[in-house]
Amino acid sequence: MNGPSIDPIAVADRIHGLEERLADLSGGRTRLLPVTKAFGPEAVEAVLAAGHSAVGENYAQEILAKDDALAGRDVAWHVIGSVQRNKVRRLAGRVAVWQTVDRPALVSEIARRAPGDRIMVQVDPLGFPGTGGCPPGAVEDLVGQALDAGLRVDGLMTVGAQGDAAATGRAFRVVADLADALGLVECSMGMTEDLEQAVASGSTLVRVGRALFGDRPLRGGR
Ligand SMILES: *Cc1c(COP(=O)(O)O)cnc(C)c1O
């Protein structure tokens, strides 16, 4: 789990610089979620030291290991990678927001293991294989199911099309419109590569790793 080394002062500078940029671009609508995947607990420490408590992570194993390493620190973990149903039980009680809920079985399992938890529904408007997310037409039913099961639905989440700005723009607009139509507040969209586009489309939460911590070692993916 020990990734490349972290300079907490440089990270704090980048966090604060990006927050200023987001405030300028969005008029205060868009917040920053630092993503620490592939980096060790010291990356999370740097985020905490910069005054943030919410952190995004993709992998159950990394959340459990870092949460243990930081025992007693108040980290609000956002799950932003696809979750296998059999990981929910171990994660329950440690997660602040499950952002990648995209199917009925996952809604049921979270409602059972982590009653009342906060979720977002992940949408895949482009039908990309492998990134997770449900089709736009399935969102309303999933939101309804989650609310009926006693979960709190913060909003919608999506991942843009890497290297395809036009498709990404379309996807962001579909998701923002859907959130509006359903009266949902949060729109988690945008990463290092496409955050300006996400802000312009109405993102309320950008999930940013590389722009804060530098390139990830290959094993961390993307
Ligand atoms: C890794 C990841 C991010 C952060 O990506 P960067 O390019 O490092 O900003 C955001 N969202 C998801 C779903 C990710 O997997």
Q: Give the H or E element holding residue 154.
A: strand 152-157
pLDDT, tens only, 17-72: 999 999 999 999 999 999 999 999 999 999 999 999 999 999 999 999 999 999 98
Considering the domain boundaries, does residue 54 fall inside one? yes
Tokens of 170: 């379309």
Tokens of 157: 């989440």
Considering the domain boundaries, does residue 2 fall inside one? no
Give the amino acid at 137: G
In the prediction, which pLDDT does 93 show?
97
pLDDT, tens only, 136-162: 999 999 999 999 999 999 999 999 998
In the prediction, which pLDDT does 190 show?
98
Considering the domain boundaries, does residue 222 fall inside one? no
Considering the domain boundaries, does residue 219 fall inside one? no
In the prediction, which pLDDT does 2 show?
54
In the prediction, which pLDDT does 220 show?
46
* pTM of the entire predicted model: 0.95
Find the mean pLDDT for residues 97-117.
98
Mean pLDDT of the chain: 95
φ/ψ region of 155 (left if φ > 0, alpha if ψ in -120 to 50, else beta) reads: left
Query: How far apart are the C-alpha atoms of 168 and 35, rounded to whole Å?
Result: 20
Supply the DSSP symbol for 206.
Answer: E
> Ligand 1 atom 12: the closest Cα is on which residue?
80
Cα–Cα separations (whole angstroms), residue 81 to 26, 130, 133: 26, 11, 10
Considering the domain boundaries, does residue 50 fall inside one? yes
Considering the domain boundaries, does residue 88 fall inside one? yes
Backbone angles phi, psi at 157, to 5 degrees: -135, 145
Q: Which CATH number characterizes residue 148's domain? A: 3.20.20.10
Structural domains counted in the chain: 1
In the prediction, which pLDDT does 131 show?
81
Report CA(82)–ligand 1 centroid distance (Å).
Answer: 12
Domain extent at residue 114: 8-214
For ligand 1, mutation pick of 79, 128, 207 (most atoms within 8 Å of CB)? 207
Ligand 1: atom nearest CA of 80 is 13
Considering the domain boundaries, does residue 96 fall inside one? yes
Range 137-144, long-range pairs (CB < 8 A, 24+ positions):
139/178, 139/182, 140/182, 141/104, 142/101, 142/102, 142/103, 142/104, 142/107, 143/182, 143/184
User: What percentage of residues in the chain have a pLDDT greater than 70?
Assistant: 96
* Burial of 84: CB neighbours in 10 Å, binned 0-12, 13-18, 19+: exposed
Of residues 118 and 3, more confidently modeled:
118
Considering the domain boundaries, does residue 220 fall inside one? no
In the prediction, which pLDDT does 83 show?
95
pLDDT at 130 over 90: no
Find the mean pLDDT for residues 178-197.
97
